[in-house]
Each structure stands twice: as structure tokens, then as C-alpha cells.
Amino acid sequence: MTDWIAALLMMGIYLVFAFALGLAAGRGHNRFSVSEYAVGDRNFGTIVMWFLMGGTIFSAFAFLGGPGWAYSKGAAAFYILAYTAMGLLPWYLIGPKVARLGAERNYFTMGDLLKDRYQSTALCVIVGVVAVLAFIQYLTLQLKGMSYVFNVMTDGAIPYWAGALIAYGIVCIYVMTSGVRGAAWSDVLQGAMMFIIAWIVGLTLVFSLHGGPGAMFADIAQQKPDFLVIGQENSPMSATAYSTAILVSVIGFVMWPHLFTKSYVARERTIKKTVIAYPIFAIFLIPVLFIGFSAIGVVGSDAVDSADQILPYMITNELGVSGLVYGIIGAGALAAAMSSSDAITHGASVSLGRDVVQPLKPDISDQTLLWIMRAGVVVVGAAAYYLAVFGAQGIVQLLLGAYGSIVQFAPSVYGALFWQKARREGAIAGLIAGVVVNFWFQVVQGGDTPLGIDPGILGLVANLIVFVPLSLGLGGARYPDQAKSFVRA
């Protein structure tokens, strides 16, 4: 049996098991309940929550994009560790309050909360549309990761388009049938696999190719003196770009609707315990970055079509193991992509149904709404699949681009929860201004910004400049009793 066939066999076995587990997650629960599909009837425990939230970070972005950035940009990749350690901290502040409000008022999404607080259907729909578009971008990077794994691990026998279609097709089915529970159960399995495989592969490559981490970094420093520092003349990333990339990620992390809505699936105590334990995920990301660093000076720039392919390339060309073993490792890489894909897909489908369709048609039945959410899985997945196969952006660039839009929710959310004078006119105008500014610098200007500041931060500044004065100029909250109840919750 050739190595690539053995690898494909092992990855196939993993996919079958993940599929079965995702389907089993919904057994014994009401598959025709919107509440069960969206928030799992609000009773998840700490361990499941830790894996569910962590699966978003330990994704194709980390497992493939992280090594790719370490290989191509050096020290700039450490921003991943920084924002993983700090990204969930804001949830300690807002999560318990959102959980209380959600249980009292039957919220399922961020749009539900903002619609109620600002008494604005328009704001809810805008939030839903922006969220779905950002979800598509975020999902695209996961599908790219699946494509790279299948294509490189099978020596090109499985083309890019087929790899993403196979793995994501499985995700679609168990998310449509089991909802948030399918994502949660799968993330526990996939998270455990990723932890084990990351440490084994990372340390094996470092010691076999360089003799240890110290020797590896000494070799890099000798070959590329500015590669392990930020902001020097020949560094791949400026200090401003590095700092603002961390800042936009930390502020925007919990603003992702599929993470924000996890406030509704757990109790307040569970949320706080999850935040305290969450930085442990940064420790598990260290060996992932080691994989990329170990390739410097070993793999030529012409050996891979994209830096994001460096992990599967190192496994198949430098690890020196059988096809069965690197098939298991490939399964770990697929687990990374799938653990985020299911949560993202589920979040996008709920946002599409609850924040876009239902506000425009309030008399829609729960049964119809649930089917719209399930159809949303296919619609969002199809859009992301097209971009993954035909788009040219790298994995990390896709994520940072998506964060630039998502972080624009922050002023409206924090204003709703903590500022009684926040007005819907300010929230809507600020959100639109922030998204437009981010889009201008991100897309029109191709990421070229003053001083290298992240486009999302420039959008956030524009957002606040509009949101705060407009709210104050209109005399504060239009519904003061509603605003006061939120702030005091």
C-alpha cells in the first residue's frame, strides 16, 4: 500500500467517526426545537464549553496558518499566542450579564439582544448581514485548510475542490441534524486529537531537524537576523501592525456571533470558569508554531505553493514516518479545520434565520425558522466553498480581514450593556461607518493603512467617533427604562 493511500484511509476512518459522533450528539433531544438547535437548551458544562470555545482558535487558522506565518513571517506569528491568552478575558465581564438577559428574555443571538435593547429591527438585520458575510470569510479559511490537507497528504491525488467538499459535507450534515450539540461533541473529540498530535509532531520535527528548540532558534537568528524580532528594518511585520493585529483580535474575539451566543448555552459560573482556564490553549499552540519555525532553512520557498501548506509538507517530506502515521496526523489537521467549521456554520445559520429572516417576517413559525436555519448551512457553506477553491488570500489574512468587520459590533454591544445613553441611531450609524472604513482599507487599499495600523482598528475609531457623539447629541437613550434594565442586569 502506497503512503498516500494509507494516509487517505486513516483520514477516512477519522471522518466516519466524526460523522457518527456528530449525529449521535442530537439523539435524545428535540431535533425540531429552535431553542435546542440554537443554544442546546442552555445547559452546557465547563469542559464542553472549554473545548467548544477553544475549537475556534485551534482551527485551520492555528494548525495551518500558524505554521505558515512562523515559516514566512517569523516572530509575527507570536501574535497568535498573545491574543489566544487574552482573547476571552472580555467574556468574563460581559458573558454572565448576557447569560442572565438571555435566560430572562429568551435570546438566541447577538441580534436578539441588540434589537431588544435599542428597539431596532434595522440594527438587528444589519448585524445579521455583517455577521453572515464575516462568517463566510472565516469559513473560507477552514475550507482552504481542509483542501491543503487532503491535497498534500495524498500527493495531489485528491484535488483541492474535492478535499474541502468531502470534509465540509460531513460537517454540514451533523450541524443540520444536531445543531450546537453536534458542534460541541465533535469539538471535544477534535480538540483532544489536536493537542496530542501538535505536541508529538512539533517536538519531533524540532529535535530531528535541529536538535532542540534552542538550537533551532539559534540557527534562524544566524540565517535571518531580523526574522525573530518585530519592528526592525527587515522584519516581516512592523510593531504597529503587530500590536494592532493583537488589539483587533482581542476586542473582536467575543464579538464573533458564534462565540457571543455561547453566553446563552451555559450558566454564569461556567462562563467564568471557562475564561479562567482558556489561556491554556495558548500552551497547546506553541508546538504548532514550532512546526513552521523548524522548516526555516530546511524547506526552500519554491517547495510549496503557499506557506499555509508547510505543515502537511513537513509531515510528508521531513517527518520520515509511514503513510498510516501521517494519515493520523492529517486527521488531526482536519480536526482543527472541522472543529471551527461546525461552530462557524452553526453560528452563521442561526444568525441568518434569527437576525435577518425573522425580524423581516415576525409571524414566521418556529418550524419554518428552523428549516431556514438548516438551509442556511448549505447557503453559507456554498459561498465559502467557492471562495476557498477560487480565492487567493492566505489563511491568516482571511481571518484578520474578517475580524475587521466583526470588531465593529463592540461599541453597540458594550453600549447596550453598560451605557444608558446609547442610542440606536448612534449604534446603526457607527456600525455602518466602521464597516465602510474597514472595507475601504482592507479591500480597496489592499491593507495599506497609515503607520500599518490594522484596518479594523481604523474602522473601530470611526465607529466610536460616530456612535458616541450621535448618542449624546440625541439626548441619550430613547427608551430609558429599557436601557436602565440592561445596565443593571
Question: CB burial class (10 A; 0-12, 13-18, 19+) of residue 104?
Answer: exposed
What pLDDT does residue 263 have?
Answer: 84
Write down the pLDDT at residue 417.
Answer: 95
The pLDDT of residue 412 is 96
Residue spans of beta strands (DSSP E) within 148-298: none
The C-alpha cell at 447 is 491593507
* Of the ranges 42-46, 74-78, 363-367, 427-431, the best mean pLDDT one: 427-431
**Has residue 430 been placed in a domain?**
no
Q: Give the burial string for 285-303 (b: 16+ CB within 10 Å, else e).
A: bbbbbbbbbbbbebbeeee
Count of structural domains within the chain: 1
Decide: 417 and 391 in contact? Cβ < 8 Å: no
Contact 270, 108 (CB under 8 A): no
pLDDT range class, residue 37, cuts 50, 70, 90:
low
Rounded CA-CA distance 430/126 in Å is 12
State the average pLDDT over residues 403-418: 92
| Whole-prediction pTM | 0.81
Q: Which of 367, 377, 381 lies closest to 31 in space, CA to CA?
A: 367
| Model confidence pLDDT, tens digit, residues 310-343 | 877 887 777 766 667 767 777 777 766 676 777 7
What are the tens digits of pLDDT across the range 470-489?
999 888 778 788 888 888 87
Q: What span, in angstroms and rounded, lies between the C-alpha atoms of 151 and 6?
A: 14
pLDDT category at 100 given cuts 50, 70, 90 is very high
Non-local (6+) Cβ contacts of 38 within 8 A are: 108, 109, 179, 180, 261, 264, 350, 354, 373
Q: Say if 107 falls within a structural domain.
A: yes
**pLDDT greater than 80 at residue 52:** no
Position 72 confidence tier, pLDDT thresholds 50, 70, 90: confident
Domain assignment present for residue 481? The answer is no
Residue 409 lies in a domain: no
- The percent of residues in the chain predicted with pLDDT above 70, rounded, is 84
Is 345 within 8 Å of 56 (Cβ atoms)?
no
Residue 66 φ/ψ region, left for φ over 0, alpha for ψ in the -120 to 50 degree band, beta for the rest: alpha
Q: Which residues contact 219 (CB under 8 A, 6 or more apart)?
A: 210, 296, 297
Asked if pLDDT for residue 453 goes beyond 60, the answer is yes
Residue 243 lies in a domain: yes
What CATH number is associated with residue 190? 1.20.1730.10
Comparison of pLDDT for 438 and 11, the residue scoring more = 438
Query: pLDDT tier at 153 (50, 70, 90 boundaries)?
Result: confident
Greatest mean pLDDT range, 64-73, 209-218, 295-304: 209-218
According to the model, what pLDDT value does residue 225 have? 80
Q: Is residue 413 in some structural domain?
A: no
CA distance 129 to 135: 10
**Domain contains 405:** no
Average pLDDT over residues 372-400: 74
pLDDT for residue 87 is more than 80: yes
Burial class (CB in 10 A: 0-12, 13-18, 19+), 344: buried
pLDDT at 384 over 70: yes
Residue bearing the bigger pLDDT, 160 or 88: 88
Which domain range does residue 64 map to?
A: 3-395
Of the listed ranges 51-65, 99-113, 218-232, 348-362, the one predicted with least confidence = 51-65
CA angle 322, 325, 326 (to 5 degrees): 90
115 found inside a domain: yes
Distance CA 387, CA 129 (A): 18
Q: Which band of pLDDT confidence, cut at 50, 70 and 90, is reported for residue 434?
A: very high
